[in-house]
Chain A
Amino acid sequence: MDLAFFGVQLLNGLQYGLLLFLIASGLTLIFGIMGIINLAHGAMYMIGAYLVWDLTMRLGNFWLAIVIAIPIAIVLGLIIERLFLDTLYKRDHLYQVLLTFGLILVLNEAQRIIWGGDVHSVPVPAPFDGSIQLTDNLQYSVYRLFVMGVCLALAGVIYWVIRHTRLGIIIRAGAVNRDMVEGLGINVRTLFTLIFSVGVALTAFAGMIAAPLTSIAPGMGDSILITCFVVVVIGGIGSIKGAFWGAILIGMAETFGSVLIPSLASMVIYLIMAAVLLVKPRGLFA
């Protein structure tokens, strides 16, 4: 493996990892603070991609489509939390898992009814539709660099909110001991609503910015959900920092694993998860 090839793969791994982080961050927040295993997280990723595809086709402008799609995703998160989850907080985890699993079915079916079963794509938007030459025959889309930048910026914002704001203190405290936070007079209900809609919006946003890089098809969120759970478990449940490093680790592992040890490609991330759990049963940063 020469240096150029190594560099290209490093870039690929980083970009994939950063996108995973965006999806996993919402998952880990919801999981860690609300104690809800949101199986419908992948479906929201898909909804984000379909929303932006639909709006781009209607409006002819990808950026405008994103601006409109984000509030829709937030409202959808709000509705789900208020209408469905709210009634189940006092119940056992199993009820919540059942509910979010049901949501996968409902969201997938809604997608089929609204948008149909065809495969779609969103053209790479200007001004990022160019590419840079990496090696003799390989180019890299500028839009991928842009996505990396956006993910990094968002990671920074999330980190800042969690570390340096009052809200962040509550979130961190909530991840450690929910009952105590409630005992200190903080309205957990409002916090939950906020966390859930932000978490859902983050994954939907990941679907939106990933839309020009992927194909938009039914069930596209199902496989990414599993990978993101692996990220969350490796990083430590509820830890944003863990989600970040877990996502980068998994991104690199998938990228290099698939090329260097192709026979184990589909197992690599699970092997890593098993190894991490052996050493640190609660994840790297929990």
Chain B
Amino acid sequence: MKTSIKKTLLASVVGAGLMAAGGAYASEHPVKLGLMLPYSGTYTALGEAITNGLQLAIEERGNQLGGRPVEYVKLDSEADPSKAPQNMSRLVRGDNVDFVIGPVHSGVAMGMLRVAKQTGAITIIPNAGLGAATNELCMPNVFRTSFSMWQDSYPMGKVAYDRGYRKMVTITWDYAGGKEDVAGFKEAFTEAGGEIVEEILVPFPSTEFQSYLAQIGSLNPDAVYTFFAGGGGVSFVRDYAASGLKDNIPLLGSGFLTEGNLGALGDAGEGVLTTLHYADTLDSDANRQFVAAYQEAYGKVPDAYAVQGYDTGMMLAQALDKVAGNTEDKEALIAALASVELESPRGLMSFSDSHHPIQNVYLREIRDGKHEVVDVAYEQLEVPDNACKK
């Protein structure tokens, strides 16, 4: 946990034609990417998936960005908010990275952004769904290739109402991420005319759900909406199924409830409905190619986290091509990043004024241990970001 992994990896030099484009930033001068992701603890799998996706994207581009080789500086964030400012400073001031990529955990994001504000370091958030990061704070040097809690859960509110559910119970952990997610769902569900009869908050990160399941049983709602992630997601879905509640009360959730956890869920996950900005079963050329390449490189099916890492790489590639590898002119670089449009494995993706992705959100149902896409729950959803409107 304590040891921060700092691995430096010099990628190979590329063709001479591209070198010329680099101008003063000759190819021997690498683009430094500072990865501030969890490589230990609960979120290890997420940090690894994001790193894998990012490296895959850059490898596909011949290990170069804008004609310059790439150097990775990896730092274990330990998903520890208290260490975030210090770690971020180390990357920006100590290692002099051109871009910081991270974090996974919203708590860490707040600490990082403080330093990003002071130093102006260009930061790309490949996961943390904390709304404020790209809305209220509205920092020109901060981008997000992931989602916000609101964006992934809002579309589910209407889906639930359209399926005929009127009285629902929500349950999540008592922390910012969970509450923001449930708030998005609630907003759309109550707008449509539904009613949330009980909002259950479980102390974070407890996975003892038995007493809450009994409570849900006695409330007997039309359906349940939930947000848990990682081990908590697996525990909740399995406990929900084992308690027999699933037979009578359908389980709806954020995509993160089941993302990356299908194997561990087993039969318990069958029929669970979730909304997310990606599904590995998406039927498009871009996704099929991505899934095949990822499987070949890492021997497993990619999840949303891997796509977020991959799109971070694609975004960097597109922007750095546009500025011909010049990372000195920050203003031009930020403008190039903001204008990126990707034909991503997740579908079309562009960026709003607040540097938040505008993307599709898909309704997915687990069938035979796979996330089958039932529908596009919301097409090209833009997060309302009044704080940052131009």
Contact = CB atoms under 8 A, between A and B. Distances in A.
B244 A223 contact: no
A163 interface: no
Interface string B231-264: 1111100110011110111000000000011011
Which bracket fits the contact residues of A?
Answer: 35 or more
A270 B133 CA distance: 34
A137 B217 contact: yes
Contacts of B201: 262, 265
A9 B211 contact: yes
B1 interface: yes
A215 interface: yes
Contacts of B233: 119, 215
A141 B241 CA distance: 10
A214 B213 contact: no
B200 interface: yes
A123 B217 CA distance: 24
B203 A266 contact: yes
A216 B231 contact: yes
Interface stretch (A85-93, A175-183, A251-259): A251-259
Given A16-B208, A215-B231, A217-B234, A121 B266 contact: yes
B5 to A, nearest CB: 11
Interface string B190-215: 00000000001111111110111111
A137 B245 contact: yes
A254 B208 contact: yes
Contact of A2 (B218, B238, B243): B218
Contacts of A259: 211-212, 214-215
Contacts of A35: none
A120 B266 CA distance: 10
B39 to A, nearest CB: 8
A61 interface: no
A262 B200 CA distance: 8
Contacts of B211: 9, 12-13, 254-256, 258-259
B42 interface: yes
Given A109-B40, A121-B266, A139 B235 contact: no
B244 A138 contact: yes
Contacts of B232: 215
A220 B231 CA distance: 8
A218 B41 contact: yes
Interface in B328-387: none
A152 B161 CA distance: 46
A95 interface: no
A8 B214 contact: yes
Nearest to B203: A266
A5 B244 contact: no
A105 B2 contact: yes
B120 interface: no
Q: Is the interface of B mostly helix, strand, loop or mixed?
A: helix
A119 B264 contact: yes
Nearest to B215: A259
Contacts, number: 135
Interface string B74-110: 0000000000000000000000000000000000000
B318 interface: no
A141 B242 contact: yes
Nearest to B48: A117
B265 interface: yes
A219 interface: yes
Nearest to A223: B205
Given A5-B218, A223-B206, A259-B214, A112 B244 contact: no
Nearest to B198: A262
Nearest to B249: A137
Interface string A114-152: 001111110110000001010111111100000000000
Contacts of B230: 119, 215, 217
Interface string A194-230: 0000000000000000000111111110010000000
Nearest to A16: B208
Given A119-B264, A121-B264, A217-B42, A138 B213 contact: yes
A15 interface: yes
A42 to B, nearest CB: 13
B45 interface: yes
From A12, A118, A217, name the one whose CB has the most chain B CB atoms within 10 angstroms: A217
Interface in A54-108: 104-105, 108
B234 to A, nearest CB: 4
Interface string A142-182: 00000000000000000000000000000000000000000
B244 A139 contact: yes
Interface string A1-43: 0101100110011011000000000000000000000000000
B42 A218 contact: yes
A137 B234 contact: no
From A8, A135, A255, A258, name the one whose CB has the most chain B CB atoms within 10 angstroms: A258
Interface string A228-259: 00000000000000000000000000111011
15 contacts: A2-B218, A8-B217, A12-B214, A15-B210, A104-B1, A109-B3, A112-B44, A117-B43, A118-B45, A119-B45, A136-B220, A137-B217, A254-B211, A259-B211, A265-B201
Given A118-B263, A119-B45, 10 more contacts: A16-B210, A104-B1, A135-B217, A139-B244, A218-B40, A218-B41, A259-B211, A259-B212, A262-B201, A266-B174
